Amino acid sequence: MRLPLYVMLLGGGTVVQSTVVGEFAVAGVTPDLPLVITALLALARGPEVGLLTGFSLGLLQDGIGGGLLGAQALSKALAGFGLGFLHRHLRVSIGPLQILAVVAVSIGEGLLRFLLLKAFRFPGDIGEMMLYGVLPQALYNGVVASVGLAGLIWVRERQRGKAG
């Protein structure tokens, strides 16, 4: 992936997350667009790109959100690296499995972020946080990832149609 395109994707994903995504809340739950971008790039490009993307987008989210600086950067970097590493060794390339991987990594990243915040005396109950925060957001991330993958497939098919 070319560097200018990568930088635009990082900046655009964070800006869209902090401005537009709130308009698409369902029952107070919004998707985590930077995590979806991290997961999809990790699946497509491997653990190194997943790590770099997750860290960059997480750090931008931390800076904009005003929470504990580094919590999202660390959790998204580990999620991107882990998913890219598993993908490299398991060769997951079927759309539904990729969507399932996005949902699973969303749950793991949310749990890891909660544990990081808990280490700094974040008030909250893990059961309530999982039931009302992480699990609904993970499902929403799966929906967003499926729409993104369908869009990529559509674009590829259109390009093949023009070339052939």
Q: pLDDT > 90: what percent of the chain?
A: 49
pLDDT higher than 90, residue 135:
yes
- The alpha carbons of the chain give a radius of gyration, in whole angstroms, of 16
Domain count, the chain: 1
State the pTM of this model. 0.85
- pLDDT, tens digit (0-9, with 9 covering 90-100), for 60-71: 888 888 778 899
The CATH number for 88's domain is 1.10.1760.20
For 109, the domain range is 3-163
Please say whether the beta carbons of 75 and 114 come within 8 A: no
- pLDDT, tens digit (0-9, with 9 covering 90-100), for 112-126: 999 988 998 888 899
- Rounded Cα distance between 111 and 85, Å, is 19
